[in-house]
Amino acid sequence: MKQLALLLTVSTSLTLTAITAAFAQGNSRVYIMKKDGKLTEVVNGKQEAVTHDVILPNHATVHPDGRVDDIDGNAKTLNEGEYISFVDGRIRKLSASPAAVPATTTTKHVTPTTTKKPASKS
């Protein structure tokens, strides 16, 4: 039990260190999103699966199953296609995030065409 508590303390400390470093760099793109049924923490564009409770700077707790307990004891759920910001702890739609990556990208392939020049008369 002591090892589990120590592991949780160390992982929370490392997470908070990463968050602090991101804020120190002036980057507010630190959030937890639920996409494709998975909870993912995004820090400076680096994504990592959420496997333990994450405590936000506003003292809300995000659980790996998507439940969010705020400091007033209210329970919320992070649903598919939503994210919670580390800056203010608000839940928003991923499509509203300036840092949101589109689920799919469509690439058009254009075949170059060559134009034959008319033969010049000499």
Contact criterion met (CB below 8 Å) for 54 and 15:
yes
**CA nearest neighbour of 90 among 65, 63, 70, 73:** 70
Contact criterion met (CB below 8 Å) for 104 and 65:
no
Distance in angstroms (rounded) separating the CA atoms of residues 50 and 35: 12
What pLDDT is recorded for position 83?
Answer: 94
What pLDDT is recorded for position 13?
Answer: 60
Q: List, for residues 76-86, the tens digit of each pLDDT value.
A: 999 999 999 98
Q: List, for residues 48-93, the tens digit of each pLDDT value.
A: 999 999 999 989 999 999 999 988 888 999 999 999 998 888 899 9
Enter the DSSP assignment of 121.
Answer: P
Distance in angstroms (rounded) separating the CA atoms of residues 18 and 48: 12
Enter the DSSP assignment of 103.
Answer: S
Collapsed DSSP state (helix, strand, coil) of residue 77: strand
pLDDT at 2 over 80: no
Which H or E run includes 15? helix 2-24
Collapsed DSSP state (helix, strand, coil) of residue 87: coil
Where do the structural domains in the chain lie, given as residue ranges?
Answer: 2-95
Length of the chain: 122
Which pair of tokens denotes residue 96? Answer: 């509203």
